[in-house]
Chains A and B, each alone.
Chain A
Amino acid sequence: MKSLTTLLSAFFMATLLPLSTAHAAEAATKTYAEPWGMAGCGLWTYVIKEKQQGPQLGVWALRHFVLDSQTFAISSGTSNCVQSRTETASIEKKVYISVNLASLSKQAAQGEGEHLEALAEIFGCPHPAFAHLSQSRYDAIFEAHDPDAVLRNYVREVHAHQDLADTCARPG
């Protein structure tokens, strides 16, 4: 079957060659190393070793991930899967904001949206209050289009908020 497939491939090679510089085909996505198991413990920020101890231990080295031209590295020095979302919450916030910054900024300004709800969930905050904070303090939180700054600002604003400081499970 592989030989037949390769034969058919020969037909397609001739036809697809002119498009070889076109947008990447769906067959393969990007050149990020997204090793298995990085969300095996729920999050994908574990850096352990270059090689796995066994095929299914699934804890690979996370080097970087690429979203078109944006490249940023996220790493953690932990050596094993962590026990709970609370322990990984700070990492999860950073990853989430980095990956969703454009969508998050828009929905924060709009005062609602799925990406905003998810961030509220990561903070462990009630959604309506978190959304209201995001909109009312938008300029302070999104003063720069920088994930680290946005995270710092969110943590500060949540702690400074009279209700959220007490009710959020993972204020950071």
Chain B
Amino acid sequence: MPTKTSRILVRVRADIVAIFVALLASDWGLGASQSAAPPSYLDSLITLAQKRTLAQEPGWRKLLLIPERWYPSDHSLIDDQGFFLASTGNRDPEVEMTATLRAFFEPLPSNPASAEAHAQCRFPARLAWLDAQLGLDTAKMPKPPCETLRKFVDFLGYEKVSLVFSAYYANNPASMFGHSFLRLHRPRDGRSDVALLDDIVNFSAFVADPGSWLYPLKGLAGSYRGQFSLLPYYRKIQEYTNAESRDLWEYELNLTQAQVRMLELVLWELGGTHLDYYYLDDNCSYVMLALLEAIDPSLRLTRHFTVYAVPADTLRTVTKQNAMVRSVTYRPSTHSLFVARYSALTPPEQELVCRLVGDAPPAVEDAFPKCDVTCQARVMDATLEYIDFQEKLAGSRVPVRYGKLRSALLSRRAKAGVVVTQASVVPPRNARPELGHDATQWGLSGGQEKTQSFMDFHWRPALHGLADADEGYSGQLQIAFLDAHVRWRPEAKRVTVEDLELFEIMSIPEDVPLLPAHAWRFHLGYEAKATYGGPDEENRYHSQFGFGKVYHAKDGSMAMYGLLHADLGYFPVGKSHWFLGPTLMLGLKVKLTPTWRLAYQVQMGQHYATAARKTSLRHDLVISRSWSRSLDFRLTGMLRQGSPELALGFAYFP
């Protein structure tokens, strides 16, 4: 009879055999448990996402800031690898989606502080989007508290969003392309609108060396990091309207509350990341478009920009979207405020302002003869605006030249006890930047030279010429980059570059009382057929820098200007040589009717090369007829050293 011990041993041996067989079976895929085990919930989500190709959906791609490019690309704008959960996530949205889903299911660390870094806390926008697509069962997912995220979202609670564009200022070329950011409106709870306490989100390059000569090169080459900032609106107002004297235009966007909430989550995700800042394309305004697309994937904004993005063009892309803009608000600069206040004064009051800021000002207590307290308040308000504009007073800056005068005026102004309504500044309707033509211009014309016909092709990537319609632009600035004219002469079977303006900027600001302005111009380019002398002087590279004066008609319909330049150049053909000399430019631009314009310019130069002195004379005439905002018909004439030509064609702003 088996003993108790032997019976136990037999049982153990049988168990061991059974376990071993089960292990073997599982290795060979034969075990009942292997074939019967259901996929995890995570696996089912990944499978479903792949089946629905969610990674190719615009909603997902735009959350990764993958813009719509003119060529197929899955590359994100974001250069920070830390933004992506997969090593190839910055260029593979599907891999990034799978990595994101897996990260959402990572178990929570025991350390609560570390739990704040859980993927669900880091990427709430992705979580929200995936939930909407897949219907996530949160009961099957880890639940990190995400306390900091909750505080962030609860505290923000934005109500509306506006796109804000800072315009150009005639005598500030640094402002020539504009800038844009988003204003995030706080709820008012029935109170009056205190816009200054709203937040703004801004994308800009963080520059450690703005004074370096390499600064513009680095900005063009993407050597600076671009990051998002969330700032109080008043901070930007001090910078733009006060320090840089630029008007601001606010375009309230037609977004739903859900989209505004999504924006908060997207900002949270993007807050710590960075993009390489490229001045030409991945700049402030282009990234704002990508941000708007992230919260409304149905928007197709980035696709309009292939090589470069001019901020004003990005603004127009938004305003052209159907019902995207609810309202437009204008915020005047200190310059505009001064002009408004001064213009509202009577001539005797204007004289008082001039005396106060003149070289030998009277004491403030003696400055207002025959001027009652209301008159004094008006005069002081205009004077204070003048001082603040001249001193570019912003922040806590102390005025340099007018410190004592400002203090004395403020004290007297307060004692007057008069509360005068803020100066009403109504901008001209055609000043609204969204009404302007696009920055790029294409042109085609056919014409006749002295002995042969030609066809001209014109391309100007940016920005605005005096012959163009002024709507949406400053009629006091001409800016051109890479402005090229290429000519085909069919009889001669020749194609030549007639003109290439590498860069031109001309400022012809309007004189404002107490703010006399000088016209100035810088130009760098190439001109063929200069014909200032013999064959050696047909083509020239040259640089011009000049100053002068301008007269504007009061109704803005006409401007006359004259500038004297120092003209330095090089004739590369034949006996190549340098030249130097003065060039006088006189110009006239007239708005004949709302759709007809005329622009005329004559340049007279004396050029000195070695011992020889040559003269040059060139007349240019453009008569334009606007067919629409994007199309002009043009008659152009030129008379160069007695050689005439005339052409008829069109200019198109795509």
Binding site for B on A (CB under 8 A): 1-2, 4-6, 8-9, 11-31, 33-42, 44, 52-59, 65, 67-70, 72, 80-81, 83, 95-96, 98-103, 105-106, 108-115, 117-118, 121-122, 127, 131, 135-136, 138-139, 142, 145, 147
Contacts and interface: CB of A to CB of B under 8 A. Distances in A.
B393 A102 contact: yes
Given A36-B227, A39-B232, A55-B272, A81 B148 contact: yes
B155 A9 contact: no
Contact of A27 (B113, B283, B481): B283
A68 B271 contact: no
Contacts of A118: 194, 196-197, 234
Interface in B206-244: 206-208, 210-211, 213-217, 219-222, 224, 227-232, 234-235, 238-239, 242-243
B502 A8 contact: no
- Interface residues of B: mostly helix, strand, loop or mixed? mixed
Contacts of A8: 280, 307-308
Contact of B174 (A24, A33, A72, A147): A24
Nearest to A66: B395
B210 A20 contact: no
B194 A4 contact: no
Interface stretch (B406-414, B433-441, B584-592, B620-628): B406-414
Contacts of A58: 148, 152, 268, 271-272
24 contacts: A1-B71, A12-B220, A19-B173, A27-B277, A27-B283, A28-B205, A28-B206, A28-B207, A30-B210, A30-B239, A33-B206, A36-B271, A37-B272, A40-B271, A44-B231, A55-B273, A67-B395, A68-B395, A70-B395, A101-B395, A103-B388, A109-B411, A117-B192, A138-B414
Contacts of B221: 6, 9
A113 B392 CA distance: 19
B299 interface: no
Contacts of A27: 204-205, 219, 277, 279, 283-284
B175 A55 contact: no
B502 A22 contact: no
Interface in B373-412: 377, 381, 384, 388, 392-398, 407, 409-411
Contacts of B377: 110
Interface in B77-93: 80, 82-83
A105 B413 CA distance: 11
Task: Using C-beta atoms within 8 Å of the partner chain, give the interface range for chain B.
Answer: 35 or more
Given A13-B217, A53-B116, A106 B388 contact: yes
Given A98-B396, A121-B191, A135-B414, 6 more contacts: A17-B213, A24-B215, A28-B210, A44-B231, A67-B396, A109-B414
A57 B394 CA distance: 32
Contact of B228 (A23, A33, A36): A36
A40 B280 contact: no
A58 B422 CA distance: 39
A53 B113 contact: yes
Contacts, number: 289
Nearest 5 pairs of A and B residues by beta carbon:
A55-B272, A138-B414, A15-B503, A36-B271, A28-B205
Contacts of A127: 192
B231 A13 contact: no
Contact of B410 (A99, A109, A136): A109
B384 A39 contact: no
B238 A23 contact: no
Given A34-B229, A102-B397, A19 B196 contact: no
Interface of B: 69, 71, 73, 80, 82-83, 113, 116-117, 121-123, 148-149, 151-152, 155-156, 172-179, 191-192, 194-197, 199, 204-208, 210-211, 213-217, 219-222, 224, 227-232, 234-235, 238-239, 242-243, 268-273, 277-281, 283-284, 307-308, 311, 377, 381, 384, 388, 392-398, 407, 409-411, 413-415, 417-422, 481-482, 502-503, 522, 524
Given A16-B216, A26-B178, A40-B230, A9 B410 contact: no
A41 B178 contact: no
Contact of B179 (A26, A68, A136): A26
A41 B150 CA distance: 10
Given A8-B308, A67-B239, A81-B151, A99 B395 contact: yes
Contacts of B83: 55
A38 B396 contact: no
A105 B113 CA distance: 44
B410 A25 contact: no
A108 B417 CA distance: 11
A72 B396 CA distance: 10
A53 B148 CA distance: 11
Contacts of B117: 53-54, 57
Contacts of B482: 11
B84 to A, nearest CB: 10
